[in-house]
Structures are given as structure tokens and as C-alpha cells.
Amino acid sequence: MENKAARKVFRKKRDRRRRLAKLPFEKKIEIVVALQKAAAGIREDPRHIIWPIQPDLKRPRSSSGR
Amino acid sequence: MEKAIRVIEEIARRGIIRAYAIGGGIAATYYIEPVLTYDLDIFFIPAKEGLDVLAPIYDFAEKRGFKARAEAILIEGFPVQFIPAYNDLIREAVKNAAILKYRDVEAKVVKVEYLVAIALQTGRAKDKERMIRLLDEAVIDRAVLAGILESSGLAGRFKKFESQFYGK
């Protein structure tokens, strides 16, 4: 059985992921670090190291992927 | 991260390894939305084949003051996991790597078509999930992917995957 509302939500999620996929790689790495911090906030795991990345505001950012 | 990339490039330049390419979650993140990952996975082709192909890398790391931590080496605060290219597909992926730019450094990264093939070959639940994301979000050259799947004997498995997840 088709569900229009669910299909719309899934399409929007897919569109959002595709937009995220187009972010510059440097920005993506900043998001990875944010995810690491968020995960540590939920449950700290001594095996996991949060990467020592500082936002680089000076340099122009290269584009990601192809 | 650029410092870690510079060290990895130096390891290759010094001939400690023959070639390398970033794989795993960071390679996937290059092509798709960011994924939670903690290690920088480096597939490499050893300079010399042997029983302990990791030893020259660990020797270099020790001399430079980088410490081993679990299965990784901490390079400038980054856990870097060196994984020897363990089959023909991975060796080919390393040889045909693309160039990734991060700030002012460049590094080799596994091409997206190889990432799909490697995920299919590895076949864990998280690899299947990654495959779906790569196929949905990344720009994939289908002809290149088909060639890789054919030459690595994965074409049949890919058909099954497409049938299971895309109803093709």
C-alpha cells in the first residue's frame, strides 16, 4: 500500500542528503567532528577520539566529490 | 587533518609503502553526506610483500614519535588505520585512486565506483547501507562501475543487490 505522506518525507530526506553530499569536503569534515562530539555527548567511549580540527575561515574551500 | 595527510604522503614518498588511498568512512564522506567515523582508513600496497607488511610503517611512526593506539597510529591527533590491500579489487582501487583536496594538501582517495564494489564485496549490513547512499547520492559512472564489477566477479551479486533494494 502506498503512503503519500511517507513517500514525501522520504523524498525530502533524500533531497537533503543529496544537498549535504555537495558540501565542500572541508565543511563535511567539520560535520564529522560535530557528529563525533554529539555521539560523545550521548555516550562517551574512551576508544573514540574526537578529531582536533579547527574551522579554517581564511582559506577558500575546494569543492567535494565530482 | 592536513598534517596527518602530509605524513601519509611522506610515508609514500619515502617508499615505505608503494601506494595508498583513503578508504572507509572518510572516502565515503568525500562523495556523500558526512558519516560518523573515527579512523582515517588507509589502504596501501606494501613496498615489499611479506608476513609483517605493517612493520615498516610502525617503525617510521615510532621514530617520528607517533604512538600506536588499538589498531591505529595516532598521527597529529588523528587515528590512522593502515590496511594492506588484501585482494585484487583493493589493489586496483589503490592503483586507480583519485585526488582529494583538503585545505592546502592533496591526498589519494578511492574512487566512488571502487567504493561501491568494495562495499558490495565486504557485504556487512553497514556496507550495504553505505552502498545505498553512494548509489543514491554520489555521481557514479555506471559504465566504469559495471567494468569493475565484471572484472572482480561481483556483477551477479550486484544484480541481486539491485533486485533486493531497488526492485530492478
pLDDT tens digits, one per residue of B51-91: 799 999 999 999 999 999 888 999 988 999 999 999 999 99
Count, residues in chain B: 168
Rounded to an integer, the average pLDDT of A52-59 is 66
How close, in Å, is residue A6 to chain B by CA atoms? 17
Cβ distance B11 to B57 under 8 Å?
yes
Cβ of A64 and B38 within 8 Å?
no
CA distance B98 to A5: 40
Write out the residue limits of the CATH 3.30.460 domain(s) in chain B.
Answer: 2-110
Look up residue B104 and give its amino acid: D
pTM of the model: 0.89
Number of residues that this document lists for chain A: 66
pLDDT higher than threshold 80 for residue A57? no
Question: Would you tell me which CATH number, out of the four given (3.90.1310, 2.60.40, 3.30.460, 2.30.29), belongs to the domain B2-110?
Answer: 3.30.460
Res. B159: pLDDT tops 70: yes
Question: CB of B151 within 8 A of CB of B143?
Answer: no
Residues A40 and B87: beta-carbon distance below 8 Å: no
- Tell me what ipTM this predicted complex has: 0.88
Q: Residue B41 CB: number of other CB atoms within 10 A?
A: 20
User: Is A58 touching B (CB cutoff 8 A)?
Assistant: no
Q: pLDDT digits over A1-18, tens only? A: 568 899 999 899 989 999
Nearest CA in chain A to B71: A47
Give B29's contacts in chain A (Cβ within 8 Å): 25, 28-29, 32
CA nearest to B99, candidates B19, B17, B35? B19
Name residues 7-46 of chain A within 8 A of B (Cβ).
14, 17-18, 20-21, 23, 25-26, 28-29, 31-32, 35-36, 39
Pairing type for strands B40-46 and B78-84 reads parallel
Contacts of B132 in chain A (CB under 8 A): none
